[in-house]
Amino acid sequence: MIEKSVPHLLQLKPDAKKFSVVAAYDATLAKTIADAGVDAILVGDSLGMIVQGKASTVPVTIDQMAYHTEAVARGNARSNSPALVIADMPFMSYQNIQTALENAGQLMRAGANMVKLEGGAWLAETVQQLLQNGVPVCGHLGLTPQSVNKLGGYKVQGKSDAQRTQLLHDAVALADAGADFIVLECIPADLARDVTEAIGIATIGIGAGHETDAQVLVAHDLLGLSERPARFVKNFLTPENIYSDNPIKDAFSSFDKSVKAGTYPAAEHQYN
């Protein structure tokens, strides 16, 4: 069992200790991220946009997710401080329970320690079945990129009273079903705070303010490689570490320390 296991990270919440997550897709970055002390690596279906240059995450397949999960798992295993590996279930790979079980099994065999699914209360039974088969689950609420065609773009979610009520309901339903973590993406900071206080499991924020239990950024974003970075993105490859012996590792370390110190995200990175 890796030191940064699901139970280990869940135990941080009662003590108000935060943990860090970085999204990455290859062995080299995975080892560097783990060596920097980051607690979890998310193999996100964002690879469709970041690695493949596509317009959304929708075209990403389960075989592509398994390929990149294997690569990350191999790099992570070479670190002296391996991180927890979370793998995204891509678009239409969990539309029913049997399909979810089969595809989650493929990702776990590829080296994932947990899978992530986008969606709310309707996934409760799927979450329960995955857990009964030994698959830890991370939910994902707010801006769910696989639903970009329904949402009409990459927009902040949870701004209306109805959306807030629904998101809180979904978070409680996922927690009650047995999910261990929930990613909260691009929602108002006060809503993220309310969700974090309402559930006993860990919340992982991205564009959700500083009061979640953890923070995640895509590796390429925190290294300043984004052409048009989102409001919540901060470049951690700074002049202070660019001339060090290992500036990339130092950037990941700086992100990890900033998350745990509560200095990232700052007010300018959140939505109200």
pLDDT in tens, 151-166: 888 899 999 999 999 9
SS3 262: coil
Q: Evaluate whether residue 190 is within a structural domain.
A: yes
Is 211 catalytic? The answer is no
HSE-CB for 180 with a 13 A CA cutoff: 20
Nearest to 118 by CA among 159, 188, 57, 33: 57
Q: Evaluate whether residue 66 is within a structural domain.
A: yes
Q: Evaluate whether residue 42 is within a structural domain.
A: yes
Domain boundaries, position 244: 6-269
Integer angstrom CA distances of residue 216 from 49, 84, 126, 138: 17, 13, 24, 13
Residues pairing with 203 in the sheet = 182
Q: Evaluate whether residue 80 is within a structural domain.
A: yes
Candidates 70, 185, 211, 268; catalytic one: 185
Model pLDDT for residues 103-127, shown as the tens digit of each residue = 999 999 999 999 999 999 999 999 9
Distance CA 54, CA 19 (A): 30
Residues pairing with 90 in the sheet = none
Q: Evaluate whether residue 1 is within a structural domain.
A: no
Per-residue tokens: 237: 């490859």
**What's the pTM?**
0.96
Distance CA 90, CA 59 (A): 8
Tally of structural domains, the chain: 1
| CATH number assigned to the domain comprising residue 247 | 3.20.20.60
2 pLDDT higher than 70: no
